Amino acid sequence: MSKTRKIINDPVFGFLSIPDGVLFEILQHPYLQRLNRIRQLGLSFFVYPGAMHSRFLHSLGAMHLMREAIGSLREKGVEITDIEATAAMAAILLHDVGHGPFSHVMEHTLVDGITHEEISLMMMEKIRDEGNEEVMDLAIRIFRDEYEKRFLHQLISSQLDVDRLDYLCRDSFFCGVTEGSVASARILKMMNVKDGKLVVESKGIYSVEKFLVARRLMYWQVYLHHTSVAAEQLLIKILERAKELAAKGIELFCSPALRYFLYNKITAEVFTQSDKALVQYALLDDSDLLSAIKVWMSSEDKVLSCLCAAFVNRRLFKGQLLDAPLTAERNEALCREYADRLGICETEASYFFVEHISTSNTYSEKGEAIDILYKDGVVRDIAEASDMLSMDTLTYKPQKRYLFRME
């Protein structure tokens, strides 16, 4: 491994060492520096004011955990070359580089048919084309799960990976939600490789159980908190209205990068046909949306101005749990209510309420299994090995149906 170039003081894991060479160059790249201006938890600060940490900090933490995991595996005799280690760390450092402003909001509004994972891959390919081809080519193969040592990909993306270990520790720390903290150091020390696949030694099973429980609690207490979801739905409505006005040729204040996505239909095909979409996307961050929303509060369009004022002044949609989907009659009644109250047409009134389903499961049967390795060499799925968590408990996928509406 290369000598240390930088040491960063991280509030979660302490001092993080940044190696010289390729990783330091990636760290300095504008694509990655952009993540300093994108919040890790999107709109969760409306609920947890401390949740202001960035995706850049999460990427650094995940890289640190990858380094620890590789060190632990090497101590147990797992062969990992220096270039493989560097490539794996580069892949995890860049795993979130394609995220847009406010987490997944852009995927539902300003871009169509392309995910942030696909954009991350495009950015990784651009970095490869700029130099360090050998390392970046291997990093991309690991990221795509095309490399023969599959456990390296599992460390990046599986049901127990360094990405999840970091965001649970980090998000629980900044939100002050202690239920989300996990024993990341112990889990990494208990990792091993069996038949080319990542496993956890049996003495680490209780730490894995705690990890799964913590993840479930964090989803319902933080990531899917009804107020955070309400704020996200309000922001989606704002962008949908802005997009509709832009399609009519109405002039709206926005940065050049935001204008590109508002006034054009950007699909996956556009990204593949030209570099312009990626160039403009790489210029977008949270500040583009926030500055536009502040100005749109004064828009002549009543719908847009009302929605933006509600967002800026934290008069968010209020959530009501539903037992069944909204009926057509209830939907029409809500449209009439807001049309009468605000003096707008019933079509425009639909911007002031939305039906939404929140769902999450702790563990997926169809996903990459979390395998537990016993001393006799037997490997068992955590769902079978655990005496606390049954498969039914782990895979249960609760749903909450909400009506979010403006008060």
Q: Model's pTM, two decimal places?
A: 0.94
Place of tokens 């159980």: 209
pLDDT averaged over the chain? 94
| 266-309 confidence digits (pLDDT tens) | 999 999 998 999 999 999 999 999 999 999 999 999 999 999 99
The confidence score (pLDDT) of residue 1 equals 47
CB 80 within 8 A of CB 206: no
CB 262 within 8 A of CB 254: yes
In whole angstroms, what is the distance from residue 256 CA to residue 401 CA? 37
| 117-166 confidence digits (pLDDT tens) | 999 999 999 999 998 899 999 999 999 999 999 999 999 999 999 999 99
The confidence score (pLDDT) of residue 392 equals 78
In whole angstroms, what is the distance from residue 179 CA to residue 95 CA? 26
**Cα angle 235-240-241, degrees, rounded to a multiple of 5:** 100
The confidence score (pLDDT) of residue 234 equals 97
In whole angstroms, what is the distance from residue 256 CA to residue 250 CA? 16
Complete domains list, the chain, with CATH = 19-225+371-405 (1.10.3210.10)
- Could you tell me which residues are beta bridge partners of residue 373? 201, 379
Strand stretches in 195-283, DSSP E: 197-201, 266-267
Mean pLDDT confidence for 36-59 = 96
| 214-267 confidence digits (pLDDT tens) | 999 999 999 999 999 999 999 999 999 999 999 999 999 999 999 999 999 999
Return the closest-CA partner of residue 284 out of 241, 254, 307, 264. 254
The torsion angles phi and psi of 187, rounded to 5 degrees, stand at: -60, -45
CB 162 within 8 A of CB 156: yes
Paired tokens of 361: 């499961």
The confidence score (pLDDT) of residue 104 equals 76
pLDDT(388) > 90: no
Paired tokens of 326: 């909204």
Task: Read off the pLDDT band of 3 (50, 70, 90).
Answer: low
